[in-house]
């Protein structure tokens, strides 16, 4: 058993001292000297052989490398990133973290992730800027309020904080929403998780990269995998744009490109890749204090530290790898924003972008071994990848180190559809909470 038990007694083990710690003392020392700050991570040349190769230098890949080194003592690790650290989905999301799930498996996993978020800045010696401002999911009718009540009860039975709000409670906490008689979607109440909130996505990538590198992990940027080395049903390495690299174990953690990488190894995954767009408005004074989820449509909004309103909606309805926004979705998401908060109708859109979502049939991910020996998969995260980063890295590291799934990710196997063990958290009346 790992340092985390399935029943929820999840306490991270003590991590090893980083080689160059950030502190008030180190800040003063550097202020009084001409010495530059050391680089957060280096640019090593790839070695010919590693114990573990992790394909994908996003949040999940970096977290996996860090926990392999910190929790399991494996040091001969390389993280291969085809572009630069932070260029993928870890830098292309709306930064939300929460644990308001319903189904066994999802409930425990995402609550463990929430607990890891709460101690992550200390563990990494890097401020990931966790802001537990609370998330309120809105209900626009009696049926939706009943669903939220059921959801809140399940959360509380699993030791997760949840508060059911009536219309008056929502009006007191979110006075800027449209409560008029002309409101397109009348607000009847909501569900509040106070521990939910936001995390700075870039800081997560940088923090994990720095912490992993300090433990001896090689972070190799601009190194694209072009194929796998396979012998007698076993993966023994990869072909890259920087040459062949052999490994004892190889892990795929490439978000929306999971099916593409798996196909190089001869595997066909039950995954489709779609774009999920995100938007930022021009900065304004502090206005939206919570994360708000719109019960009438898949729409979610919060305000960044710089003052911009950060929001998003559904995935685009077609397959794509472009990472560019699409104008029809801009209109749809803007309509949701104005319907919910009319006072922002004259704000200008500062920018928008897209991340690539790997969508599974049941909306739940894969963290598991594959049919090929020594090849492991972390993918299929749909709308949930960023908030799962710490727990995904923790459990994926355990799976790789022990060649066996951790109790918290045992249900995220590739064969669950054959066994009729789907984890459809959104098909049981739990609508519009995929953000």
HSE of 60 in the Cβ direction (CA atoms, 13 Å)? 28
Q: For domain 129-200+273-359, which CATH number applies: 3.30.2010.30, 3.10.620.30, 3.30.9.10, 1.10.3720.10? A: 3.30.9.10
Higher pLDDT, 119 or 316: 119
- The percent of residues above 90 in pLDDT, for the chain, comes to 84
In three-state secondary structure terms, 14 is: coil
Q: How far apart are CA 53 and CA 65, in angstroms?
A: 9
Fold of 49-92+202-270+362-434: FAD/NAD(P)-binding domain (3.50.50)
User: Which of these ranges, 24-33, 250-259, 381-390, has the smallest mean pLDDT?
Assistant: 24-33
Average pLDDT over residues 111-119: 98
Local confidence band at 428 (pLDDT 50, 70, 90 cut-offs): low
User: Which of these ranges, 18-27, 97-106, 111-120, 285-294, has the smallest mean pLDDT?
Assistant: 18-27
HSE of 133 in the Cβ direction (CA atoms, 13 Å)? 22
Structure tokens at 190: 């909501």
The four Cα atoms 292, 298, 304, 308 give a dihedral, to 10 degrees, of -110
pLDDT value for 424: 84
Average pLDDT over residues 46-61: 98
pLDDT value for 325: 77
For residue range 1-25, list pLDDT tens digits in order. 333 443 333 434 333 334 578 999 9
> Domain coordinates of the chain in residue numbers?
49-92+202-270+362-434, 129-200+273-359
pLDDT over threshold 50, residue 39 = yes
pLDDT value for 34: 83
pTM attached to this predicted model: 0.93
Average pLDDT over residues 327-341: 93
For residue range 271-299, list pLDDT tens digits in order. 999 999 999 999 999 999 999 999 999 99
pLDDT over threshold 70, residue 233 = yes
Average pLDDT over residues 299-324: 93
Average pLDDT over residues 26-30: 87
pLDDT value for 201: 96
Average pLDDT over residues 127-152: 97
pLDDT over threshold 50, residue 426 = yes
Q: How far apart are CA 323 and CA 83, in angstroms?
A: 14
Q: Which range has the top average pLDDT, 23-32, 92-101, 417-426? A: 92-101
HSE of 291 in the Cβ direction (CA atoms, 13 Å)? 28
User: Mean pLDDT score of the chain, rounded to an integer?
Assistant: 92
pLDDT value for 20: 73
Q: How far apart are CA 318 and CA 275, in angstroms?
A: 8
Q: What is the CA radius of gyration of the chain?
A: 22
HSE of 198 in the Cβ direction (CA atoms, 13 Å)? 22
Average pLDDT over residues 407-429: 86
349 neighbors 380 (Cβ within 8 angstroms):
no
pLDDT value for 96: 97
Local confidence band at 429 (pLDDT 50, 70, 90 cut-offs): very low
For residue range 145-203, list pLDDT tens digits in order. 999 999 999 999 999 999 999 999 999 999 999 999 999 899 999 999 999 999 999 99
Q: How far apart are CA 401 and CA 100, in angstroms?
A: 29
Question: Which residue matches tokens 């194929």?
Answer: 227
pLDDT over threshold 50, residue 382 = yes
Average pLDDT over residues 238-266: 97
Q: How far apart are CA 312 and CA 94, in angstroms?
A: 7
Spatial neighbors of 33 by CB under 8 A, at least 6 apart, are none
Local confidence band at 427 (pLDDT 50, 70, 90 cut-offs): low
For residue range 204-228, list pLDDT tens digits in order. 999 999 999 999 999 999 999 999 9
């Amino acid at each position: 058993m790992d340092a985390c038990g399935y029943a929820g007694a999840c306490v991270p083990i003590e991590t090893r001292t980083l080689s160059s710690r950030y502190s008030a003392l180190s800040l003063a020392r550097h202020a009084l000297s001409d010495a530059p700050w050391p680089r957060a991570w280096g640019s090593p040349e790839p070695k010919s052989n590693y114990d573990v190769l992790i394909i994908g230098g996003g949040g999940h890949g970096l977290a996996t490398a860090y926990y392999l080194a910190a929790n399991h003592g494996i040091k001969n690790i390389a993280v291969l990133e085809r572009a630069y650290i932070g260029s993928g989905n870890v830098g292309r999301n709306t930064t939300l973290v929460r644990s308001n799930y319903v189904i066994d498996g999802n409930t425990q996993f995402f609550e463990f992730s929430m607990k890891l978020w709460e101690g992550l800045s200390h563990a990494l010696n890097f401020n990931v800027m966790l802001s537990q401002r609370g998330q309120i999911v809105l209900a626009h009718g009696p049926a939706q309020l009943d669903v939220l009540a059921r959801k809140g009860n399940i959360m509380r039975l699993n030791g997760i904080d949840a508060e059911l709000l009536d219309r008056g409670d929502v009006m007191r906490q979110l006075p800027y929403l449209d409560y008029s008689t002309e409101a397109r979607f009348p607000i009847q109440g909501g569900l509040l998780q106070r521990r939910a909130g936001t995390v700075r996505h870039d800081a997560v990538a940088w923090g994990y990269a720095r912490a992993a590198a300090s433990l001896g992990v090689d972070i190799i940027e601009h190194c694209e995998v072009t194929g796998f080395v396979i012998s007698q049903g076993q993966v023994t390495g990869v072909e890259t744009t920087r040459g062949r690299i052999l490994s004892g174990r190889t892990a795929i953690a490439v978000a929306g490109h999971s099916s593409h990488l798996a196909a190089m190894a001869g595997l066909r995954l039950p995954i489709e890749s779609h774009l999920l767009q995100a938007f930022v408005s021009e900065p304004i004074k502090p206005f939206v204090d919570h994360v708000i989820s719109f019960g009438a449509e898949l729409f979610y909004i919060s305000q960044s530290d710089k003052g911009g309103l950060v929001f998003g909606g559904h995935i685009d309805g077609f397959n794509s790898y472009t990472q560019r926004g699409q104008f029809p979705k801009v209109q749809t998401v803007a309509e949701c924003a104005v319907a919910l908060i009319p006072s922002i109708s004259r704000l200008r859109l500062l920018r928008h972008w897209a991340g690539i979502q790997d969508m599974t049939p049941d909306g739940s991910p894969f963290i598991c071994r594959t049919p090929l020996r020594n090849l492991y998969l972390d993918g299929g995260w749909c709308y949930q990848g960023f908030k799962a980063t710490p727990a995904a890295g923790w459990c994926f590291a355990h799976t790789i180190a022990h060649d066996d799934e951790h109790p918290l990710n045992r249900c995220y196997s590739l064969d669950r559809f054959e066994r009729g063990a789907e984890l459809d958290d959104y098909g049981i009346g739990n609508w519009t909470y995929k953000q």
